[in-house]
Structures are given as C-alpha cells and as structure tokens.
Structure 1
Amino acid sequence: MTLPTGIDEQTAPTLSAPPHVGFVRQVSESLVVLTIAVLAFRLFVAEGYLISTGSMAPSLLGYHKQVECPACHYQFASGVLVDDDETDTQTGKVQAQDLQGDVDAPAESVCPNCGLHHIATNALPRNEGDQLMVHKHAYEFRDPRRWEVIVFKNPSDPLQAYVKRVVGLPGEVVAIRDGDIYINDLLQPRSLEAQRGMAILVDDHDHEPKDDPEWHPRWIVNRPDSGWQTNGRTFVIDAPPTGSRAAASDDELGPQPLPDFDWLTFRHWIRSGGRHVTTVPLSNWPRSGGFPPAVGSVKYDLDLRQLSAIGVVDDEQVAMWEQRSNDPVFLRALRQLAAASHEAPIVDEYGYNKSRDGDATFIVRDLLCSFDLVSRTGNGIAAVSIDDGEDRYIVHLDFARGVAGVRESGQNRDLQETVVDLPRGETVSVEFSLIDRQLLVAIDGKTLFAPIAKSDRQSHEPPAPTRPISIGAAGGSFEIRALKVFRDVYYTPKSDNTLLRRMKDDEFFVLGDNSPVSVDSRCWDDPAVKRQNLVGKPVVVHLPSQQGKLSLFGETRFVRIPDFSRVRYIR
C-alpha cells in the first residue's frame, strides 16, 4: 500500500470500515440535526402561522369541520364560528375579524356541489385551520405582486397577524365594480394560474347525486337524437362522420360555419331557494284560482299575461295551487313554471359559510370549466362553448388537422387559431375560462392563445345565463371525464357598489377570497396595509391535521392525525 510521504507505515491509520453506530443513536442524532435545521430555518427564513377564521376560504381554511354530503358524497369544509376571546390571546394566530353569527346556533351546512341544505354538523369534530409556512424575507427586496397572498401585522395590535390577497399596489387608485378589480380605471385580468388559485367549485360531475329522487341532472343534451351517453361518470359519444368544416350550417356563425355539433350542456339546476325570476306565458288567470296573488313567490301579471315566480317553486307550492284551481291550462303553466324555476344563474354562495338567508347574493358570470378529453379515433372535432349572457365563444379542437381555434358567436372567422398536439387515444386536460372579461384556453396546463379580451360592458346589464357552458362533438368518437365547473370570486360591496381608494407610495390594498364575510380594506377606517407591517409571503400549507376516531373501552374519542391531502403550495 502506498502511503503519503512522511507517514510511518507502522503508525498510519488503518483504512477499514467505520465502527458500527447503534440504530437508536443514529435516529437520535438525525432528530437533533433536523431540529436544529428547522429551528434555524424558522429563525432566519420562515415562520409558521395558524389561520383561525375563514376570510380566505375555501383556498385557505380557518377552524372548520370536514363534512361529507349525504346526497352526493362530496367532501367540503364548513367554517366554525369562534369567539374572539378564544383566539385573540393566542400569539401567532392569523386573524381576520370576520366572525359572524351566533356561535351557539345549531350547526348546519349547505353542500357547495349539489346544494343539499340542512346538513347537520353538530356531531362532527372541529379541525384546526391551515398552518402556513411564511417566508419572512420575501419582501425585503421586492414588493408583493398583485394577486399574491400575504401575511401582515394588524397596525393596532402587532401581535395579531392577518392573511389576505393583494389587489392594489402603492400609488394606485383601486375600485371595485361588478365584483371585479379596477386599477386606475382599468380592469385587472389574471393569469390562468391565478384563476385556479381563486376558483370556487360550482359542480363536480364525479359527485353527482345518485338515487336521489329530488335531483335532476345538470348536464343535459340539446336534442332528442343526441349521441351523448353516460358510462358511469364518463360521457361518451360516437358522432356521425363529417368534414372539418362540414356543410351542416349554423346560422349564427356566418358563411363559413363550424360543424353541426352535438352539444352536451350544463344547466345550473338548484334544489331550492334563489332570488331569480322565472316567467311563463298564461293568457288568463283562472276563475277557480281566486284573485291573482299580490304577494308570495308566484304572481300573475295582467298586462303582460304571464305567470312569474321569485326563486324555486317547490312541490308544496304546486300542491297548494292545485287545491285552489282545477283549470288545466293554469295547472299546465304552473308545472312548467315550477320546472323552469329550478334553473338559476350562478351566484356568490359559499359552502364554507353558514346560511346567509336574507343577505344579498350577487350573480357571477365569470366561470372556469375543466375536463379530461380522449379522442378514441383521432379524428373529428370537439368543441366547448361558454356564454356570460353578453357574448358566446366557441373553442374548437380539430383532431384530424391538429388545429385549435376560437370563434365568437355571430362571427364568420376565427379570432385565434393555432397548431396543437392532439394525440389519438390519449387523455388531454382541457381548461377554458371567461373571467375578467377575457377568454383563456389551455391544453395540459399550457395556454393555447393570447388572452382574448372582451369589449367594455354596455351600460345595461344583460340577463345572466342559466346554461352557460356546453361541450360539443362532430365526426368522431370522444370521452369526457373529470368534468368540473368553477366560479370566480365576486368582490361584494361593503358600503357603496363602487369603492374608490388611492394608495400612498408605501400602501397596499388587500381583500379576502371569502368576500361576503371577510373584513378587509373595504371595511377598515384606514384601508391601507403599509409596507412596514408586511410579515412575509405564505409559501405552503404544512402540517395540516384532521380528526380521527379512536375507540377504546367502549368510548369513541377524536384525536388529531396528519391530513397530507391538504399539504399544498399557495397560489
């Protein structure tokens, strides 16, 4: 063996395997090193915060209960009202001062997916809120960007921290109009990634109720000879052969029509409630019905000759009128009204919040839809249509040509067209949104076109659609899976419908995603968050917990266990 110069062979160390270290010692040393690393990381880089309230729900959760809807089996978080005394004294808690309602009231929830009311939650255990790992130095070299989530100190109580989303930056004039954010009188659009981070579920077809006599499917076909069929939670179609731009016409689309698509349409069917108005024609009020009602949800307009209703006309109301009149024309109109009244515009409801009966709800036109698409034959055209009541856009995916295009209803040319990889037999993820008055389309997470911006809204408010989204097919065999519809956050007014604030050079304007209950820059006497009060940028939800059941000696207890499904990066 050759040794380094100057080392006596007799005294040279033996090059052999290191001495065996016991398992317990290895684990102990590893834990010590990990603890030191975590402490150093938290001391110099990051700090943990626990959210207690629901101002950012459902993207970030406060104290809540995990609920499973008995009708559709969709699992969701339902917020828990917490006394101020219970949380304000705990340093490090993220507060929002958005606690509303009676803490001692019976706990009931509404399913955000199928709308089932009166889901009892009293017996469910309470979970802690999301725990945030906050990067403390994120804003030492740059300011927060618009739409970022930030943690900041309460100016009146430095031990109390808030978590909100930044919408207004230093020096800007911030306004809220029709639920949207305007900066210096310009609407502020978001990227698709930002839209995903704020999206609120409206419908998950994988959780459509089964064996529920009250439920009516939300995805329906448009014509009696439709080729759409269901295979479990999957929609399938074998559309008749046709050319890429077949001779079948669609008068809406001008001289170069798209194919005659077989449409599968989403209707926003609701179980009950609502403040929408539904009307059906009725030439005369029946004599057997007594005087036309002046109050109540069902009314008759003598001048317009129409029957109308506010909200859903339920079976109890129909039965009441059936007892009052036997006129077949009236009863036919009444049943038609009752059926139509279940279709309503999408509004800013939150499954996280307690029922807000009597509070105003606002119509939400900004929607996002996602699904998985498979072309089994590699030809034909798939299409999606989205309508905000003002404009309708059709996105078409030509699998034979490998081309995607966007067309506005009434136009005879594509607004955008691009080459796209559309493989046969493989699943592609499709997303499209009409949010912030711009259309975005993505395949497998990548946007296909530059955003297509809509013109400014006219002075009048167009009727809101109850059937805003459709998926079509022509000349091919397709499968649709994992079909979901989301809505955008609607920033509700707290005083006036228009809020106008000018930020100083060191100020930020912040809002909570759970807009109806969040107390934020809309409500504070001083709406600004100053740069000196910034704590940092929350990066990840870590160490979340859930309640697990433990049965011991005939007794059932709930214990905290990890909930790794809630570990996620924060958008």
Structure 2
Amino acid sequence: MTPEGPGVETSTAAPPEASRHSLLRRFIETAILFISMIAIVRAIALEPFGVPTGSMAHTLVGNHKACHCPRCGYPVVVGSASNGTSKSTRDPYRRASCPNCGESPLRFDAVRECIGDRLLVDKNVFELRKPRRWEVAVFRCPYDGNKPYVKRIVGLPGETVLLRNGDLVINNALVRKSIDECRAVRVELFDNNYQPADRGWRQRWRTLPQEPTSADWQSAMLNVADAFVNRSELQVDEQNADAWLIYRHWLLDENQEAHLRDDFGYNGGDLPHRLNTVHDFAIEFDLQAERSNGSVEVALWDGHDEICAILSVDSARRTQLVHARTGEVLSASESHLRSGQTHRVEYYFFDRRAALVIDGRQVLTCDLPEVGHRQPVSRPFRLRGRDVSLTIRNFRLFRDIHYGATGGDCRNGVYEPWPLGPDEYFLLGDNSANSQDSRFWTDAGVPERYFMGKPLLLHQPSQWTHVRNWEIECIDLKRVRWIR
C-alpha cells in the first residue's frame, strides 16, 4: 500500500508507449468501423457511378473540356471524342463553337480534359416502386454486354412509343411534361447576360411599332431596338410603350437571321447527322414593373400557334393565356404582378402546352392539340408593356429536347410505333443527337430486372483550377446537386 499525504501526488497516467499504442488502436478501430459502414451502405443502399460519355448532357456530362467564349464570355463545355454514338476519330474540340454567340473555332489546345460526373445511385428505390416516366435511371444494358448505362425513362411497360416531330407520342397521344420535368430537360439557346464585347446584342433584339398579326411579325422588316436595350437589361418606358420588342436568332459572323435548330454545343463539330428545326421554346427572366394598373404581354410562337401571356400589374384584371390570332382566352387566373417588386417569370411552350410560372408557382396552363407541319422558327418570342414601365434582367431562352432520327441504325420508335412488352421500358439520352439508346438497340425495350437504381446526387462534378503555380482537378461545388 502506498501512503498518501500532503505533498504526495499519485499518477494514473499510462506510460508514453502504452498511450501511443492506445491511440493507434483507436484510430485503426475507427477506420475499420468507417470502412465497414461505407461497405454496408454501398451494398444495401447507395453506390457510386461514373459517367464517361455525354449521352445525358447537359443533365450529366462525360469526359470533357471547358472554357469561356472569348467573344461573349459564355461558359462552354464540349465532350470528348469518346461520347455517344460516334465511333469515328473526329476531334470535337477542333471545330467547337459557342452556343450563345456562335464564335468558332474555340481554342481548347491548352485546356486539360476533366473526368465525367460521378453520381450516388439509390439502389433500392425501384424495389419499393415502379420506375416513372421522365426520371433518370442506371441499368445494365442487355444489348451491350450488360455494361452500366444511364438514360431517361420515356416509355413504360405495355405502351406503344413513337417519336414524332421531335416530341414523344405514347399510344398515339402526345405526352406533355410537368414544369419540373421541363426544367430538367430544357436546353439553353441564349443568355442575354453574356454580351459580345464590341457590339452587344443589338442584332438579336428588334422592335416593331405597329400592331402585327401572328403571321406579319414573323416576316416583317424590324426596326433597331436601341431604346429598349441597355446592355444586359431590357427596358420599356413611356417613350416606347405599346411597341413590341422581338427576339430574332441572328448569326453574328454570317450577318443573317437563321432558323433555330437542335444544334448542341456540347457535341462540338462534325456530328454525322443533319440538324432539325425546333419548335418548343421557353423563356425565363426577372421582371420589375414601375407603374400600376397596366399589363405585360409575353408571346411564344411554335411555328403553328402563338400563345400570349397577359400579366396584370396591380390591377383587377385577370392574368390570361390568349391565342394571339383568334383572341380566344385559353386560361385565366386572379394572380397579378406587384409594381416595384421583382418577379421571376418562366413561360413554357413545350409539347403544345403553354404554362406560365411566376415566382416558382404555376399560375396558368393550357393544352393545344397536336399538329403536323410547323413552320421553321427564327423569332420565337416577343414582349411589350401596356401602360407600365418595365425592366427585364437575366433573360434566357431555351428549347425542348428534340427526339428523332440521327442516322445509322436509329430506327426503333422513329419511323413507326414500337410496342413494349409487359416488363419493358424505352430509354433515351438527353443528348438526343449523340446517344446510344433504345432507338438503336436490337430490341428497344429494357426489362425491369436490368435496372440498378436511380441517380440521387451529383456529388463529384470535376473542374481544373489553379492553386499558385499548380493546376489541380477538384470538385466543382457549383454543380453539386440533387438529380431530378
């Protein structure tokens, strides 16, 4: 027994060597526990998946290079030659162009290639419920050695699938997307925030002072819109009230107006298929009205019909969707804009469905019947204010995915309807022009037993960045997101 008393201290501390062994043991135990938890989660719940190709661009990108356009500053992403259906030795970087202003060729010689996106896949979701239309799925392709593929589901068991005029037709009925589905697949055509340094976008914005019909404003000679355009802002005041501000697709280098097509900057140049004219458009912008008791009129044209959204400002009048040619009111709501406030406006005309969204809430929608022939479109949008002053910022123009033939063995569901079996799904890539999918396979349908899961999170998008004198590849935090 050891005596204790004043001035006598006892110590229970372990010897230094024993303490080091204890810390090392704790570290090893913690590491083993952590690795075991990851293994368990991966085995029963989540699994990482790499995306090497760009068949799902822009939703998911494969190996690629990125730069900013030297003329307008737009961020350009171009996929590597290993993408999609092309088996040629083409160099997509050699003839890459800016999808916003058309600047070509872009210089990618000194740009390093990034690896494709990496996903976390929920392995159990399809054990609990059936796959749904328009959601993204990972599956083992039975027509390519059971390799893992990622595509978007468009056709469900027992349905008949046809891709007609760029749209999806199921059982001979046009399929229309919800607002969230439209946001997930829309392809950006133009962003007014990215301005050519020398001239801006004076050539794309034009005005027409008189009241045109739907047919007239598509072919009329347009006036310069300098009074409306203040660099990236569009402004309507008392001096130019009631005049229509019109967007036209203008090629800067060719100095001419051109029809909008399904060109996709991600694919670079020299894809072996002809471009298709597109007809389904959407716009998005921030709008601030300074005077009350007026209205804002926003119209979209799809080559057959023009639907005008009339947004009431601090007025008892209703917000409406109106057929521009006939004047018929197709849908109406008591919602209105408030003067002095900035509102986020989205307006879609996809799949022959017009839908108006204000501040994230869908306020109006109407469906039009499917039509056959539609005219090529170069002027998809026009706007004016009635008894209001407007400022529009962050204007962007989009198109819908255009599904169709891309040459070669692309046949299933393209030229005639394709019937799916009782357990089969029809899957397509978002990059329709460069995707190996149900259109090409020996049998278009993929049985449900081949499904691996649903992508849940894009957790490792990559980018190259400079740290002092070093260039390193790291996670692009701006692109980390949940996948719809």
TM-score normalised by L of structure 2:
0.85
Write out aligned runs for 1:112-151 (5 A).
Answer: 112-151=99-138
Describe the SS at the equivalent of 1:140. Answer: helix
Q: Is the 8 A contact 1:407 1:415 kept in 2?
A: yes
Write out aligned runs for 1:144-223 (5 A).
Answer: 144-155=131-142, 160-211=147-198, 217-223=203-209
AA in 2 matched with 1:344: A
Residues 363-392 of structure 1 show CA distances to partners (whole Å, capped at 9, x for unaligned) of 000011110111123332111011112111
Q: Is the 8 A contact 1:53 1:99 kept in 2?
A: no
Give the deviation of 1:189 after TM superposition: 0.6
**Residue in structure 1 matched with residue 19 of structure 2 by the alignment:** none
1:387 to 293, 296, 301: 301
Q: Is the 8 A contact 2:92 2:270 kept in 1?
A: no
Describe the SS at the equivalent of 1:76. Answer: strand
**Residue in structure 2 matched with residue 444 of structure 1 by the alignment:** 359
**Residue in structure 2 matched with residue 509 of structure 1 by the alignment:** 426
AA in 2 matched with 1:518: S
Name which of structure 1's ranges 561-570 and 363-372 shifts more when overlaid on structure 2: 561-570
Give the deviation of 1:477 after TM superposition: 1.5
Describe the SS at the equivalent of 2:184. Answer: helix
Instruction: Give identity over the alignment, percent.
Output: 32
Residue 364 (1) aligns with residue 363 (2):
no
**Residue in structure 2 matched with residue 399 of structure 1 by the alignment:** 313
**Residue in structure 2 matched with residue 45 of structure 1 by the alignment:** 45
Q: Is the 8 A contact 1:493 1:499 kept in 2?
A: no
Give the deviation of 1:46 after TM superposition: 0.8
Give the deviation of 1:165 after TM superposition: 0.6
Write out aligned runs for 1:418-429 (5 A).
Answer: 418-429=333-344
Describe the SS at the equivalent of 1:411. Answer: coil
Assess, with a 3 A threshold, how the Cα gap between structure 1 residues 62 and 105 changes in structure 2: closer, same or farther: closer
Assess, with a 3 A threshold, how the Cα gap between structure 1 residues 59 and 184 changes in structure 2: closer, same or farther: same
CA distance in 2, matches of 1:357, 1:518: 12
Q: How many residues align?
A: 444
Write out aligned runs for 1:223-302 (5 A).
Answer: 223=209, 228-239=227-238, 261-271=242-252
Write out aligned runs for 1:5-84 (5 A).
Answer: 37-82=37-82
TM-score normalised by L of structure 1:
0.72
CA distance in 2, matches of 1:232, 1:440: 28
**Residue in structure 1 matched with residue 7 of structure 2 by the alignment:** none
Q: Is the 8 A contact 1:507 1:528 kept in 2?
A: yes
**Residue in structure 2 matched with residue 91 of structure 1 by the alignment:** none
Give the deviation of 1:102 after TM superposition: 1.5
AA in 2 matched with 1:169: L
Give the deviation of 1:40 after TM superposition: 3.2
Give the deviation of 1:485 after TM superposition: 0.2
Give the deviation of 1:54 after TM superposition: 0.7
AA in 2 matched with 1:542: H
**Residue in structure 1 matched with residue 261 of structure 2 by the alignment:** 347
AA in 1 matched with 2:383: I
List gaps (5 residues or longer) in structure 1: 1-22, 83-95, 242-259, 273-313, 315-338
Residue 568 (1) aligns with residue 471 (2):
no
Assess, with a 3 A threshold, how the Cα gap between structure 1 residues 31 and 107 changes in structure 2: closer, same or farther: farther
1:493 to 390, 405, 419: 405
**Residue in structure 2 matched with residue 280 of structure 1 by the alignment:** none
Assess, with a 3 A threshold, how the Cα gap between structure 1 residues 231 and 499 changes in structure 2: closer, same or farther: same
Assess, with a 3 A threshold, how the Cα gap between structure 1 residues 427 and 106 changes in structure 2: closer, same or farther: closer
Assess, with a 3 A threshold, how the Cα gap between structure 1 residues 106 and 168 changes in structure 2: closer, same or farther: closer
CA distance in 2, matches of 1:409, 1:104: 46
CA distance in 1, matches of 2:180, 2:27: 41
CA distance in 1, matches of 2:374, 2:133: 29
CA distance in 2, matches of 1:38, 1:407: 56
CA distance in 1, matches of 2:336, 2:92: 55
Give the deviation of 1:438 after TM superposition: 1.1
CA distance in 2, matches of 1:192, 1:473: 26
Assess, with a 3 A threshold, how the Cα gap between structure 1 residues 97 and 514 changes in structure 2: closer, same or farther: closer
CA distance in 2, matches of 1:169, 1:412: 38
2:389 to 477, 481, 485: 477
Assess, with a 3 A threshold, how the Cα gap between structure 1 residues 31 and 190 changes in structure 2: closer, same or farther: farther
Q: Is the 8 A contact 2:228 2:236 kept in 1?
A: yes
Give the deviation of 1:211 after TM superposition: 1.0
CA distance in 1, matches of 2:171, 2:115: 39
**Residue in structure 1 matched with residue 292 of structure 2 by the alignment:** 378
List gaps (5 residues or longer) in structure 2: 1-22, 210-222
CA distance in 2, matches of 1:30, 1:263: 67
Describe the SS at the equivalent of 1:415. Answer: strand
Q: Is the 8 A contact 2:186 2:401 kept in 1?
A: yes
CA distance in 2, matches of 1:549, 1:559: 6
Tell me which structure has the larger Cα radius of gyration: 1
CA distance in 2, matches of 1:196, 1:178: 20
Describe the SS at the equivalent of 1:348. Answer: coil
Assess, with a 3 A threshold, how the Cα gap between structure 1 residues 382 and 42 changes in structure 2: closer, same or farther: same
Describe the SS at the equivalent of 1:352. Answer: helix
Q: Is the 8 A contact 1:108 1:122 kept in 2?
A: no
